[in-house]
Amino acid sequence: MNSPHLKNGSRQPSPPPKGKLRLYSNRFCPYSQRVVLVLDAKKIAYDVINIDLHSKPDWFYEKSLLGKVPALELENGEVLWESLIISEYLEEKYKAHHLHNQDPLQKAKDRLLIEQFNRVVHAVKRFLTGGLGRFTFDDDDVIENGLNTFERELLNRGTQFFGGNKPGMLDLMIWPWCERVEILKYFGNTNLLKKENYKRLMEWCRKMSEEPSVKKSLMDPDTHIKYLQSYRAGRPDYDTILDS
């Protein structure tokens, strides 16, 4: 997973081994991390090709029409992209280790919460990328209100995870940004994440970080910070992960 990111001019890799899916990813892309989490939770065999998003190889556009990651190459050579679409495909195609609640109403409610979390996603992105993301002062409120919603949701469910006694699809779809929320204080707002206001979410974060399928893609705050500093300087160093 922590392989060098292929750049423009890189040779196209040979086809994936038989019986494996291939994920075109970027180690610092939270959307790609979503798919990694689903693949690992469902114990699906796959390999990873990391792509430099600021210097994409020409051949990558043959795999992903819009040049976006994540992109998942199937065994028949077809390619899917967009994290939610890929995740839903994997859930339906591979029946073992169900991630969605089997109750249709609860599944629908979980999907609504994933959609609702998009406001937090965009606010966190604007915050972490600074001026490049057109940060607004309202983003503090968006993040806090979003986290409050999920704090209450855990209280109402009375479970360790949103998925019950183990992480489900909702847990995995929001985790990449929750992993990054902790570092917001290093980029200008030391008061945003008051742990006493999110006791259940903090415990959820702790338990998520201990899950074997989550540990595989987990990065420590220092690695995130080092990458974001390079991104803000206009020279994103995706391969900084190789030094950590």
- Tell whether 12 is covered by a domain: no
Q: In this structure, are 109 and 148 located in the same domain?
A: yes
- In terms of pLDDT, which residue wins out, 128 or 40? 40
Q: In this structure, are 77 and 120 located in the same domain?
A: no
Residue 53: how many other CB atoms lie within 10 Å? 17
The pLDDT tens digits of the residues spanning 191-205 come to 666 778 899 999 999
The pair of three-digit structure tokens given for residue 200, joined into one six-digit string: 């259940």
Asked whether the beta carbons of 116 and 67 are under 8 A apart, the reply is: no
For residue 137, the 8-state DSSP code is: T
Q: In this structure, are 179 and 124 located in the same domain?
A: yes
* pLDDT score of 176 more than 90: yes
What SS3 class is residue 49?
strand
- Tell whether 151 is covered by a domain: yes
The pair of three-digit structure tokens given for residue 158, joined into one six-digit string: 């009375």
Q: Which range is most confident: 42-51, 138-147, 228-237? A: 42-51
pLDDT at 126: 82
The pair of three-digit structure tokens given for residue 165, joined into one six-digit string: 């006694």
Q: How are beta strands 46-50 and 21-25 bridged, if at all?
A: parallel
**Confidence category of residue 157, pLDDT binned at 50, 70, 90:** very high
The pLDDT tens digits of the residues spanning 52-103 come to 999 999 999 999 999 999 999 999 999 999 999 999 999 999 999 999 999 9
Distance CA 135, CA 128 (A): 9
29 as an active site residue: the answer is: yes
Q: In this structure, are 116 and 69 located in the same domain?
A: no
Instruction: Catalytic residue, from 6, 21, 23, 29: name it.
Output: 29
Measured at the CA of 176, the angle between CA 58 and CA 143, to 5 degrees, comes to 115
- Here the CATH number for the domain that contains residue 32 is 3.40.30.10
Q: Which residues pair with 79 in a beta bridge?
A: 73
Q: In this structure, are 58 and 79 located in the same domain?
A: yes
- Tell whether 57 is covered by a domain: yes
The pLDDT tens digits of the residues spanning 96-134 come to 999 999 999 999 999 999 999 999 998 888 878 764 444
Range of the domain at 83: 21-97
Residue keyed to tokens 């190889």 = 57
| Phi and psi, residue 97, nearest 5° | 60, 60
Q: In this structure, are 159 and 119 located in the same domain?
A: yes
E strand or H helix at 147: helix 139-157
Distance CA 12, CA 22 (A): 13
The pair of three-digit structure tokens given for residue 144, joined into one six-digit string: 């806090």
Q: How many domains does the chain have?
A: 2
pLDDT at 133: 43
**Confidence category of residue 2, pLDDT binned at 50, 70, 90:** confident
Q: In this structure, are 43 and 73 located in the same domain?
A: yes
From first CA to last CA, the distance across the chain in angstroms is 13
Q: In this structure, are 86 and 115 located in the same domain?
A: no
User: What does the mean pLDDT of the chain come to?
Assistant: 91
pLDDT at 186: 77
Q: In this structure, are 166 and 77 located in the same domain?
A: no
- Tell whether 36 is covered by a domain: yes
